[in-house]
Amino acid sequence: MRLADVVSADRAVVPLESATLPGAAAELMLRLVASGVVSDPDKLRQRMAEERPEDIVAMGDRAFLLHYRTDAVSDLYVAIGTAPVPICRQLGDGESQCARVLLLVVAPPRLATRYLQVVGAFARFLSAPERVEAVLAQPSPASLAALAGLREYELPEQLTVRDLMTERPLTVGPDEALRDAALRMVRSGLRSLPVVDEGRRVIGLLSEQELMRHLVSSYLLGGPAGTTGTPAGAARRSVRDVMTRQVLCVAPEQPLAEAASIMINKDVDRVPVVREGELVGFLTRGDIVRKLIGS
């Protein structure tokens, strides 16, 4: 599959007329609707109006990539547009991001694998300044859709969990003192630790959420009024007392897009990677985003 397979003249806008990111995104959305691929325009409009931070990727000063998973479409579709002057969005502290290329990728949830492949491929394609210049040089939707670079760029082979996971991750035992495990998390900068037995089988997960919930509850119930510090008895508690026992795990041979879809649907941002019950790695959403967008 090549990028040209998902780009067509009837879903391209040259030039984009709006000088704002929401306005330009609306132009691309209307072009998708006009091409007849959107079954429920209101649903797509509502999904885009949610403005979740993870829906928009700014690729330096080259392009904005907007991507949405929605049942408003039955297949994966891409709309692309270029602007004569940079389109900007305002960030905090008076900063802004500006770019002249805008991509809108929409797909139903069932096409998670293809969706991630296409989003990642466009991100890598537009990471090269010469490709961005070639896109901006096209005078019409037809010439943009026929761009040689899009015809030549093949989507990479499907990645697996093994390609991104952290091998030999830091772990904790179930009988380790809770305070020691918490200090290890803080010092290592990790937000969670797999809990393993002597055979390195995953039996739980210790995360900041469970740790904070337990410590705050213990402090409110048993801590001295008007004081700060460790609640009475906290030093005697073990990891087993607070760890989550229901842990979502993935396999190293599992397709990355499949694992990412599971993580999104289950709303988890880190999972142990196991083979025949034994821990062999750890995968986070951050690992996936860095791989898709950063290369």
* Distance separating alpha carbons of residues 197 and 171, to the nearest angstrom: 10
Mean pLDDT score of the chain: 87
* Residue % of the chain over a pLDDT of 70: 89
Read off the pLDDT band of 224 (50, 70, 90). Answer: very low
Whole-angstrom distance, CA of residue 143 vs CA of residue 133? 14
Instruction: Kindly report the CATH class assigned to 162-216+234-294.
Output: alpha beta
β pairing state of 96-107 and 166-167: unpaired
Q: Read off the DSSP letter of residue 247.
A: -
d(CA 186, CA 190) in angstroms, rounded, equals: 7
Confidence band for 196, pLDDT divided at 50, 70 and 90: very high
Q: What is the pLDDT of residue 55?
A: 85
The residue with tokens 């537009």 is 126
174 in Cβ contact with 185 (< 8 Å): no
What is the helix (H) or strand (E) element at residue 219, kind and residue range?
helix 208-222
Listed in order, the ranges of the chain carrying CATH 3.40.930.10 are 3-154
Pick the CATH number of 3-154 from 3.40.930.10, 1.10.150.120, 3.30.1380.20, 3.40.50.720: 3.40.930.10
- pLDDT at residue 190 tops 60: yes
Residue 29: its H or E element: helix 21-34
Supply the pLDDT for residue 223. 52
Q: How far apart are CA 78 and CA 7, in angstroms?
A: 6
In angstroms, what CA-CA distances link 267 with 144, 258, 260, 261, 295? 37, 14, 10, 10, 25
CATH 3.10.580.10-classified regions of the chain: 162-216+234-294
Q: Per-residue pLDDT for 294 more than 50? A: no
- Residues comprising the chain, all counted: 295
Query: What is the pLDDT at residue 219?
Result: 55
**Interacting residues of 204 by C-beta distance below 8 A, sequence separation 6+:** 174, 194, 195, 239, 240, 243, 244, 245, 247
173-188 pLDDT tens trace: 999 998 888 888 888 8
- Using the predicted structure, report yes or no on whether residue 15 has a pLDDT greater than 90: yes
Query: Is the predicted pLDDT of residue 31 greater than 80, yes or no?
Result: yes
In the predicted model, what is the mean pLDDT of residues 61-80? 94
Pairing of strands 96-107, 270-275: unpaired
Q: What is the average pLDDT across 84-93?
A: 86
Of 228, 223, 222, 193, give the one whose Cα is nearest residue 210. Answer: 193
Can you tell me whether residue 238 is helix, strand or coil? strand
**CA separation for the pair 104, 109 (Å, rounded):** 16
Predicted pLDDT at 141 = 98
DSSP letter for 40, please.
Answer: -
- Report residue 176 CA to chain centroid gap: 33
In contact, 62 and 77? CB cutoff 8 Å: no
Average pLDDT over residues 277-290: 86
SS3 151: helix
pLDDT in tens, 105-148: 999 988 877 787 788 788 889 989 999 999 999 999 999 999 99
Whole-number pLDDT of residue 218: 64
Query: Would you state the pLDDT for residue 100?
Result: 97
How far is CA 279 from its chain centroid? 24
